[in-house]
Amino acid sequence: MDYIKHKVPPVREDRLMACQAYGGTCGDLSRDSKKGCLYASKRTFSQTQGCQLNLSLGMISSMRDAVMVIHSPIGCGGNLIQNAGINKVFQKLRQESAVGLRWINTNLSEVDVISGGEAKLRQAVLKAEREFRPSAILVFNSCVPALIGDDIDGILDDLQKQVSAKIVPIHCEGFKTKIQATAYDSVYHGLIRNLVGEDNDSQPAVVRTPEEEAEHQAVISKTVNLLNVGSMSRIDEEELVRLLKALDLNVRILPSYSHPDDFVYAHEAALNVSICATHDDYFVEHFQQMYGIPYVMRTIPIGIANTNKWLRDIASFFGIEEQAEKLIAAETAELKQAIEPFKAELKGKTAFLTGGEVRILTTAELLHNLGFEILGLRGYHFDKYGEILLDEYLEDVPNSEKAIFNIGSGQVFEQANLLSKITPDLFVGHIGVNGSAAKQGYPIFPLFGQSDDYLGYKGVFEVAARVSRILKNPAFNKNLGSHTRLPYRDSWYEQDPFTYIDDSASVAARIG
Amino acid sequence: MSKVIERPRYVCALGGAIGTIQSLPRAIPILHSSSGCGGNLAGALSGASGYNGGNYCGGQALPSSNVSERDIVFGGEGRLQEQIENTLKVMDGDLYFVVTGCMVEMIGDNVHAVTKRFKGGDLPVLAAETVSFKGNSYYGYELVLETLFRDFVEKTTEKDAKTVNLWGVVPMQDVFWKGNLGVLKNLLKKLGIETNTFFGQGETLDNLKNAAKASLNIVVSDAYGIEAAKVFEEVHGVPYLTVQLPVGDHGTSRFLRTVGKTLGVDDIKIEKLIQEERKAYYPYLERLADVYNDLDFQRYATVVGDPNYTQALTRFLADDLGWLPELVVITDILAEEQKERVLATFGEYESGLRPEIVFDEDASSVGGYINRHWPQNQGQKYYKGFAPGVILGSVMERDTAEQFKVPLLSVTYPISNRVVLNRAYAGYTGGLTLAEDVLSLVVAHR
Ligand code: SF4
């Protein structure tokens, strides 16, 4: 992979042949995916989802000591408004003096659309510098400047000479892709190009004696970059750090909630540790190519099996397998005993999960181990990383071929239809779709949360405890189920849930 | 050139339009835009509006053509046609309303030509070009109302002297809109007047469809909904009146007098109602007599937000509560003439108070104005600043409130530190609710 030289990264439809519309079973999907014919499918009726810009902000708006400039008409980035007063709380968990979200919108008007938005972009960046003196100014580019052809990079290069904050352009126009996850590439692209590396350090380079240098290298040889994700809570981070420290490793956490300076020496690490390929493949591949830093990225440490796999992958890199096995044995023995009572209680219950491909497949395995039968999954999109995980899942979870697999971000009409047919005991969902399932009366376990833990061994126990608590009294959603109505016609529920997925292109590819 | 804005408290015209349509009973917005717009706006519409939620058809349920690069190159009209056809099949509504994002405008899709093909069908399909770069949420509200008044409200020559329409309370942007509309409707009912608010509890689309029978349109705003009122007048011949959002006795009594007089309601009847309402209102405030005075409840106040609320809150604090709301920051983008109209609403206080009023869209400017109004302590021994003080604004004023160590009540958009269901601040009852909320803050630390 070598896209860093380019101004913008490619979209995931092209780079990973990612698919965003599919309906079938887990078995079907595994087979169809290998034929490589899924990516061309589309919907003839669709609901809104989210764009690269939203997700880019979701990923990195939490950066401390940074100001975001959103170069767009006034509405783009609107989701930030709901976090304006509350994000600070989460930033403070990482740094007491954190100030919370700050952003400037260039408020492009009709005049700007005709005469170009470049002057406004300048104004915004200079204002960010003048008012806040941040360490970094992250500039997010939306649809309109892309269509009117603003020379964003040119202006920002020029501005960089005038401001002391590091300017990071993030090209994330919404219309470019239907795979929102392209946002992760856009953000990492900007971060790698503009924050990583000594030449991006505002401090003079450190001079070390040979002894100091040797010591420094020794530290690096045991340092991992733990790539966190926006949906990860501080408690999740702490659990993973605890496990990595138990293996005597040093941990640097990037990119969500990080400080711009955290990136300067990010290449001084022995290993990149990802918990999600959807989030990090662009970053880790480039780091390997540019700095020769290998990575671990197979799975997310959710559930016992996946946490074990994750730890073993890391340990085998450092050649400390024995130490890891000891840790795993001790942790799992203790955990298994602790979750025994929940298993008795949850045995035979059924579940349906929706969200990112990596997260749902691993969470499904966790629930399976607690005694659940998994009736179906909805992935936001699907690509080669999902394929690998799905195959492992099919192996680890008996009789899972027949479970439903639907692909599409948002598209709650398909979800509503599916749920009316498969009626699980528990719905596990990503933010944005839970309200819809709640109105159908299902008890809901949120797939992630800023205040709760999900990852590692502690996560398993916490998930079990929360699921059991939620199932104990689903009255709120039951009431909603009997007294509210989703905005779909009765006739819709009689149809095939995948009626509006048009996969004629892939059918043609299969035949041809 | 328009200004860049630090932490805007509104979104684009598309966002305002979606918020407006989804607040109408059984109306289904259809977005003709790229896939991200709806999701991007959802958090602003529901999460930032006291967790208002998406109503019947909002959030991720919004139908959207999700045009992407390919459609942008080849044009999105075909995709829109397909999307409308299928929306009518899947989504269960009584009114469908196509709204557009900026990209489809820039590529020149003609949405009106496409929606026209659905004319005369079983279900009404309307359209408005809610181009984002032409204006903000309020502009979107205005455009949707104009379209409804032109294309949905049925023409009639029949007029009913006892029926009025009322708008200007913008759904979502006024986080308490639903409750507020209910209060105003009930008040007018006490004057023998039926009110269509279109968005209020218990109303249906028929209230809107038959709105041309009204004898007066009441726009409860000096900034929003006035263009739509002009359209209504032009198309249906119904005149309009602008009044201020009333909170508490002083505001609401003015409201009743203005509206009553315009409608030709007998003066005696109006005064009688005001007396009755006061009879219910002041006994509640009376309960505070001891505590207000024993604990010295008077405060300086800074009021931050949109023109509708800032004028209402300032009058309430000054005249009903006897506070000193000396500084008002209005955060909306307003044209010069709007500014003048709005400025005129901050006057004639019974208490004689004259607040300083500034227009500034940037969220972090507020602290600067407070410092200028109540100069900061430069280390002097004797010094009078913004203390004891309270800020009435939005959740965005959190940091400012912390900085000055004063309590904050979020009343204006955005609000994400409170959950709002049917709470209302309008009218006499709303004034009591506001007194409860703001004074509770003052005693919270005890
Ligand atoms: S899709 Fe484009 S216009 Fe819509 S919110 Fe995203 S960046 Fe803005």
Digit-coded pLDDT (tens) for A385-443: 999 999 999 999 999 999 999 999 899 999 999 999 999 999 999 988 999 999 999 99
B12, B132 in Cβ contact below 8 A?
Answer: yes
pLDDT at A512: 41
How far is Cα A443 from Cα A378, in angstroms, rounded to an integer? 17
- Test B15 with A76 for CB contact under 8 angstroms: no
C-alpha distances in Å from residue A328, one per residue of A215, A465, B429: 30, 21, 62
Q: Which two tokens stand for residue A131?
A: 């008012």
Residue of A nearest to B37 (CA): A50
Q: Is B235 on the interface with A (CB under 8 A)?
A: no
Q: What residues of chain B lie within 8 A of the CB of A53, using their CB? A: 36, 40
Write the CATH number of the domain with boundaries A51-195.
3.40.50.1980
What is the mean predicted confidence (pLDDT) over B189-217? 97
Q: Report whether pLDDT(B184) > 80.
A: yes
Common-topology check for domains B13-152 and B163-261: yes
Q: Report whether pLDDT(A508) > 60.
A: no
B111, B80 in Cβ contact below 8 A?
Answer: yes
What is the Å distance from ligand 1's center to B145 Cα?
A: 24
CA atoms within 13 Å, Cβ hemisphere of A267: 19
Q: Report whether pLDDT(A507) > 70.
A: no
Write the CATH number of the domain with boundaries B163-261.
3.40.50.1980
Ligand 1 test: best mutation among B31, B37, B134, B137, most atoms within 8 Å of CB?
Answer: B37
Q: What residues of chain A lie within 8 A of the CB of B72, using their CB? A: 147, 175
Phi, psi of A367 (to 5 degrees): -65, -40
What is the Å distance from ligand 1's center to A87 Cα?
A: 22
Q: Which CATH class is domain A210-322?
A: alpha beta
Atom of ligand 1 nearest to the CA of B36: 1
Nearest beta carbon to residue B396 from set A77, A85, A143: A85
Looking at ligand 1, which residue's alpha carbon is closest to its atom 4?
B37
A169-192 pLDDT per residue, tens: 999 998 888 888 999 999 999 999
How far is Cα A449 from Cα B246, in angstroms, rounded to an integer? 40
CA B34 to chain centre: 27
Which amino acid, one-letter code, is at A349?
A: K
Residue at token pair 């400017």: B365
A153, A182 in Cβ contact below 8 A?
Answer: no
List the one residue out of A473, A500, A479 whose CA is nearest residue A488. Answer: A500
What is the mean predicted confidence (pLDDT) over B59-75? 86
DSSP characters for B13-43?
A: HHHHHHHHHHTSTTEEEEEESBTHHHHHHHI
Q: Grade residue A90 by pLDDT with cuts at 50, 70 and 90.
A: confident
A400-410 pLDDT per residue, tens: 999 999 999 89
Q: Is B444 on the interface with A (CB under 8 A)?
A: no
Tell me the H-state helices in B329-392. Answer: 336-343, 366-373
Nearest beta carbon to residue B395 from set A84, A178, A487: A84
How far is Cα B109 from Cα B78, in angstroms, rounded to an integer? 10
SS3 at position A406: strand
Q: Which CATH class is domain B281-445?
A: alpha beta
SS3 at position A69: strand
Q: CB count, 10 Å around CB of A239?
A: 22
List the one residue out of A283, A278, A326, A268 whose CA is nearest residue A298. Answer: A278
Q: Which two tokens stand for residue A459?
A: 């996560």
Q: Which two tokens stand for residue B173?
A: 């942007």
B217, B240 in Cβ contact below 8 A?
Answer: yes
Q: Is the CB of A23 under 6 A from ligand 1?
A: no
A317-353 pLDDT per residue, tens: 999 999 999 999 999 999 999 999 999 999 999 999 9
Question: Angle at CA A490, nearest 5°, toward A487 and A494?
Answer: 125
Do the bridges between strand A501-502 and strand A42-43 make them parallel or antiparallel, or are there none, so unpaired? Answer: antiparallel
| Domain A339-504 indexed as CATH 3.30.930.10 | no
SS3 at position B101: coil
- Test B44 with A79 for CB contact under 8 angstroms: yes
Task: Provide the edge-to-edge strand list for the sheet that holds A136-141.
Answer: A166-171, A136-141, A66-71, A103-105, B5-6
CA atoms within 13 Å, Cβ hemisphere of A370: 31
How far is Cα A448 from Cα A434, in angstroms, rounded to an integer? 12
pLDDT at A505: 59
Q: Grade residue A280 by pLDDT with cuts at 50, 70 and 90.
A: very high
B405-408: long-range contacts at Cβ-Cβ below 8 A with a sequence spacing of 24 or more?
B407/B441, B407/B442, B407/B444, B408/B441
Q: CB count, 10 Å around CB of A155?
A: 20
B320, B248 in Cβ contact below 8 A?
Answer: yes
- Test A73 with B12 for CB contact under 8 angstroms: yes
Q: Which two tokens stand for residue A201?
A: 């350090």
List the one residue out of B21, B24, B16 whose CA is nearest residue B127. Answer: B21
For chain A, give the mean pLDDT. 92
Q: Which of A:92-151 have CB within 8 Å of B?
A: 99-113, 119-120, 123-124, 127, 131, 143-144, 147-148
pLDDT at B1: 58
DSSP characters for A23-64?
A: EEEHHHHHHHHHHT--TT-EESS-B----HHHHHHHHHTT-T
Looking at ligand 1, which residue's alpha carbon is closest to its atom 5?
B37
Q: What residues of chain A lie within 8 A of the CB of B132, using their CB? A: 73-76, 144
How far does B84 lie from chain A, in Å, by closest CA? 8
Among 1.10.10.10, 3.40.50.1980, 3.90.1150.10, 3.40.470.10, what is the CATH number of B13-152? 3.40.50.1980
SS3 at position B158: coil
Q: What residues of chain B lie within 8 A of the CB of A411, using their CB? A: 60
A200-259 pLDDT per residue, tens: 777 777 789 999 999 999 999 999 999 999 888 999 999 999 999 999 999 999 999 999
Cβ neighbours for B222, distance < 8 A, ≥ 6 positions apart: B242, B244, B307, B308, B311, B338, B341, B342, B344, B345
Torsion of CA A60, A61, A67, A69, to 10 degrees: 90
Domain ranges for chain B, please list them: 13-152, 163-261, 281-445
Most confident stretch, A147-156, B133-142, B303-312: B303-312
Q: Report whether pLDDT(B298) > 90.
A: yes
List the one residue out of A49, A356, A14 whose CA is nearest residue B66. Answer: A49
C-alpha distances in Å from residue B335, one per residue of A225, B139, B224, B340, B365: 51, 12, 12, 9, 20
How far is Cα B428 from Cα B246, in angstroms, rounded to an integer? 8
SS3 at position A17: coil
pLDDT at A94: 80
Q: What residues of chain B lie within 8 A of the CB of A178, using their CB? A: 35, 66, 68
Q: Is B60 on the interface with A (CB under 8 A)?
A: yes
ipTM over 0.85: yes
What is the Å distance from ligand 1's center to A67 Cα?
A: 20
Q: Which two tokens stand for residue A336?
A: 């298994």
DSSP characters for A218-251?
A: HHHTTEEEEE--TT--HHHHHHHHHHHHHTT-EE
Looking at the DSSP bridge assignments, the partners of residue A251 are: A224
A414, A352 in Cβ contact below 8 A?
Answer: no
Q: CB count, 10 Å around CB of A77?
A: 27
B76-117 pLDDT per residue, tens: 999 999 999 999 999 999 999 999 998 888 888 999 999 999
Tell me the H-state helices in A87-135. Answer: 87-92, 110-115, 118-132
Tell me the H-state helices in A247-297. Answer: 277-291
Atom of ligand 1 nearest to the CA of A77: 5
Burial of B293 (C-beta count, 10 Å sphere; 0-12/13-18/19+):
exposed
Q: Which of A:40-79 have CB within 8 Å of B?
A: 43-54, 73-79
pLDDT at A434: 94
How far is Cα A235 from Cα A503, in angstroms, rounded to an integer? 42
Residue at token pair 């219910």: B280
How far is Cα A207 from Cα A313, in angstroms, rounded to an integer? 35
Q: Which two tokens stand for residue A128?
A: 């960010």
Q: Strand (E) positions, A365-466?
A: 373-379, 404-407, 426-429, 444-446
How far is Cα A242 from Cα A247, in angstroms, rounded to an integer? 9
- Test A174 with B37 for CB contact under 8 angstroms: yes
What is the mean predicted confidence (pLDDT) over A449-457? 92
B216-245 pLDDT per residue, tens: 999 999 999 999 999 999 999 999 999 999
A141-179 pLDDT per residue, tens: 999 998 888 899 999 999 999 999 999 999 999 888 888
Q: Give the residue range(s) of CATH 3.40.50.1980 domains in chain A.
A: 51-195, 210-322, 339-504
B147, B24 in Cβ contact below 8 A?
Answer: no
Q: Is B181 on the interface with A (CB under 8 A)?
A: no
Q: Is B154 on the interface with A (CB under 8 A)?
A: no
How far is Cα A406 from Cα A353, in angstroms, rounded to an integer? 10
pLDDT at A371: 96
A427, A352 in Cβ contact below 8 A?
Answer: yes
